[in-house]
Amino acid sequence: MKPLLITVIIGVTFGSPILQAQAEKDSSTATSNVRGAQSPRIYADGRIIFTLKAPDAKSVQVAGGDGLGKGPFPMTKSADGVWSVTTPPAVPGFHYYWFVLDGVSVNDPGSETYFGYNKETSGIEVPEDGVNFYHVKDVPHGEVRTKWYFSRTTGDWRRAFVYTPPGYDKASTTRYPVLILQHGMGENETGWTKQGRANFILDNLIAEGRAKPMIVVTDCGYATKAGMSAVAAGPGAPARNFQQAFSAFGDVVINDLIPLIDASYSTIPDKQHRAMAGLSMGGMQTLFITLHHLDKFAYIGSFSGPIVARINAGKQPAGAAQPPQFDTKTAYEGAFADPSAFNKQVKLLWLGAGTEEKQFHDGIKGAADALKASGVDVVFFESPGTAHEWQTWRRDLHDFAPRLFR
């Protein structure tokens, strides 16, 4: 069988010099491209040109996240073996994508890769006009450090990323609050730095005086207790699987991660200076962990995290969004049953969702409304026009972080 030839497009990419010249005039290369790659390219209105040279392929499509539009998008082959397609305007922000080449999903050699969908995946950054809160700016920058540690919970080595704010190394006597910030399903601890640009969001907020300097920790949200088999905790899995998986990661956070960070960095090691937040699965984990350990956290944030009222009881399908009636008395084993007591313990309960992620948005908003009606202090934030994607979560962090440690 003759191997397929796939090449990254550096030179002529659009079938003819005339088409190439016009495309280059009207569009620009994505900032997420590898160095020198001329594809994909983005028009000012958000349309994207994808190209791939695969002369032996029979069919090629572009598929990806919701923000790219309703795909997959069939590509057309030119005489020189270059496949191309121009997609409709994409939602601004970061989107995963891949090619489907003769039925096989492959990454784009012209793109950087990002860990999503449980694998290294191509990604494209679509700019949003007038929005730069997650861009690199000429301000003091913190550092993102890699911290390897041995977990007694899992019996294995784990890796966390730790953001230290600008001036951390020079301020030898200063101690900082801590935010534990978690990724979503199919992603890992690299997500908030690579896809989310959390370090730049914090740099800019701190420089503007809008956020307190803080240490931000991101760890892998997957964990299995030593001596136990891993369980599937994805869509359709039994609720007990979520309970087991979340319990294992909760033990990592409480028994391994928090002591490690407090021992290794200049933290203020108490509840009043500790926050946890996460996106999607990470938001679910945040609620599960913090609401069972209110002695450890005073600030709680769930970004597009489905609200599961009775995960321990196994009464609700795993991964289901919030049911129409959210019982504030029994949810999370009664964590909200006494609103006055809860409000005294928790300084911030923050829930957010994109307006276009209906499966998540309506349930989360319903839970927030029910909590407010019961007397629980809660902030609900909407990201307009975005779905279950990184632009939603960047906006979430941008609103959440300035509220911390006040």
Distance CA 43, CA 20 (A): 14
**Per-residue model confidence (pLDDT) at position 269:** 98
Query: Per-residue pLDDT tens for 308-328?
Result: 754 443 444 444 444 447 899
Q: Which residues contact 303 (CB under 8 A, 6 or more apart)?
A: 277, 278, 279, 280, 282, 283, 352, 353, 392, 393, 396, 397, 400
Distance, CA of 70 to CA of 64 (rounded, Å)? 9
**Strand ranges (E), 280-347:** 299-303
Among candidate residues 57, 111, 36, 51, the one with its CA nearest the CA of residue 87: 51
Spell out the residues 6+ positions from residue 321 whose beta carbon is closer than 8 angstroms to its own. Answer: 306, 307, 359, 360, 362, 363, 364
The pLDDT confidence band at residue 236, using thresholds 50, 70 and 90, is: low
Backbone angles phi, psi at 274, to 5 degrees: -135, 130
Q: How many CA atoms lie within 13 A of 248 on its CB side?
A: 24
Q: What would the pLDDT profile of 198-230 be if each residue is shown by its tens digit?
A: 999 999 999 999 999 999 999 999 999 998 776
Write the DSSP assignment of 169-190 as a string of letters. TT-TT--B-EEEEE--TT--TT
What confidence tens digit (pLDDT) does each residue in 130-178 have? 999 999 999 999 999 999 999 999 999 999 999 999 999 998 899 999 9
Per-residue tokens: 212: 């307190």
- Supply the pLDDT for residue 296: 98
pLDDT in tens, 243-256: 666 889 999 999 99
Which residue's structure tokens are 């504030």? 328
Express each pLDDT in 276-309 by its tens digit: 999 999 999 999 999 999 999 999 999 999 987 5
Share of the chain above pLDDT 90, in %: 81
Q: pTM here?
A: 0.89
Token digits of residue 58: 């029979």
* Mean pLDDT value across residues 107-127: 97
What domains, with CATH codes, occur in the chain?
Answer: 17-126 (2.60.40.10), 143-403 (3.40.50.1820)
CA–CA dist 107, 97 (Å, integer): 8
Using the predicted structure, report yes or no on whether residue 14 has a pLDDT greater than 60: no
